[in-house]
Amino acid sequence: MMAKFNIGDIKGVIPALITIFDKEENLDTDKLKILVNYLINQGVHGFYLTGSTGQGMMMDAAERKSVVEAVVEEVDGRVPIIVHVGAIATVQAIDLAKHACEVGADAISSVPPFYYKFSFDELYGYYEDVASSTPLPMIIYSIPYNTGVEMGIDSVEQLSRIENVKGIKYTSMDHYEMQRIKEHIGEDFMIYSGSDEMCVSGLMMGADGIIGSFYNLDPEIYIEIYEDIQNKEYGKARDKLIIANDIIEVCLKYGVYPSIRAGLRFIGIDAGRDRSPFKPLGNMEVKNFRRELKDLKSSKDITGIRLLDVL
């Protein structure tokens, strides 16, 4: 299988796809395929697999590969697919990268090696080795809150000189830094803003796309935001993000991933559970979550968002 999209075509609203685990915490790729089709029908522009939201770091290599195979097969070239291959040993990441390439993914991405405090030299070597292991474009994934690894403008600039390194998923709220990265490295270096709460300023300040958790749950609002920004309707985009953020604020009280799964269930999609030690919501929590979303809907008279319309 060959990649079908060029890096320049990977843009827009890209869910960091959740991975679906059943009650016993085993992978359920059949249910995942249902979600994938739902999201494509909602109009998402691509998928980012086995990253933070996809709990890639909580799966073994065989499981990560079966998620990638299932999604690539189901998507069948309709939208581009980025595979997160990050691991703390280079050899593990290379194995996943080669697999992603063989099955037809369009790009790979990786967090920097974490846990041990690797030197920049070691980190650079990791990206060099992983990026050169396949012809696919590599998107660096900076998420200092989770990895503890800060990558400033200078570091990103250096990494961007590695062949195949073509962009960054920038999960932080500093859109000054994000915009400077684009400015220093150039228009062709792709930037994906990773903080859903900040997608408007991210897109206004030069992000080519947005990759995040909530595009699994209420993608339609973010797709409208993306279109508004394309049309320079910034005020409209901001008003919509305030609504989206009202939803995020409620969700965060219950945990990002458990709330996304519970919300998808309201819509009629069985999104299973997270892997332990993440805890599923109890019945009472689900009830309260639903009530809080319902209150939000009526207090602001919100319509047109499936998650709220179904309540």
Contacts to ligand MN9 by CB under 6 A: 16, 52-53, 143, 146, 171, 194-197, 212-213, 256
Contact yes or no for 175/198 (Cβ under 8 A): yes
- 211 pairs with which residues across the strands? 14
Provide the minimum distance between the beta carbon of 274 and ligand MN9 in the complex, in angstroms, as a whole number.
12
Tokens of 206: 């030069």
Contact 57, 72 (CB under 8 A): no
Active-site hit among 11, 166, 169, 297:
169
CB of 91 to ligand MN9, least distance (A): 25
How near is the Cβ of 200 to ligand MN9 at its closest, in Å?
13
* Nearer to ligand MN9 (CB atom), residue 102 or residue 177: 177
169 carries an active-site annotation: yes
* Pick 27 or 143: Cβ nearer ligand MN9: 143
Q: How many beta carbons lie within 10 A of that of residue 30, not counting itself?
A: 11
Least distance from ligand MN9 to the Cβ atom of residue 12, Å: 15
**Is 254 annotated in the active site?**
no
Residue closest to ligand MN9, measured at CB: 212
The CB-of-139 to ligand MN9 minimum distance in angstroms stands at: 12
Q: Are 268 and 310 in contact (CB under 8 A)?
A: yes
Contact 47, 82 (CB under 8 A): yes
Is residue 110 within 8 Å of 129, Cβ to Cβ? no
The full 3-state SS of 155-176, as one line of letters, equals HHHHHHCCCCEEEEEECCCCHH
Helix, strand, coil in percent for the chain, rounding step 5: 50, 10, 35
What are the φ and ψ backbone dihedral angles of 5, each rounded to 5 degrees?
A: -120, 150
Find residue 138's DSSP bridge partners.
Answer: 108, 165
Is residue 264 within 8 A of residue 218, CB to CB? The reply is no
- Cα gap 165→167, rounded to integer Å: 6
> Cα angle at 213 between 218 and 72, to 5 degrees?
95
Closest separation in Å from C-beta 72 to ligand MN9:
21
DSSP 106: S
* Residue among 48, 126, 141, 222 flagged as catalytic: 141
Give catalytic residues, as residue numbers: 141, 169
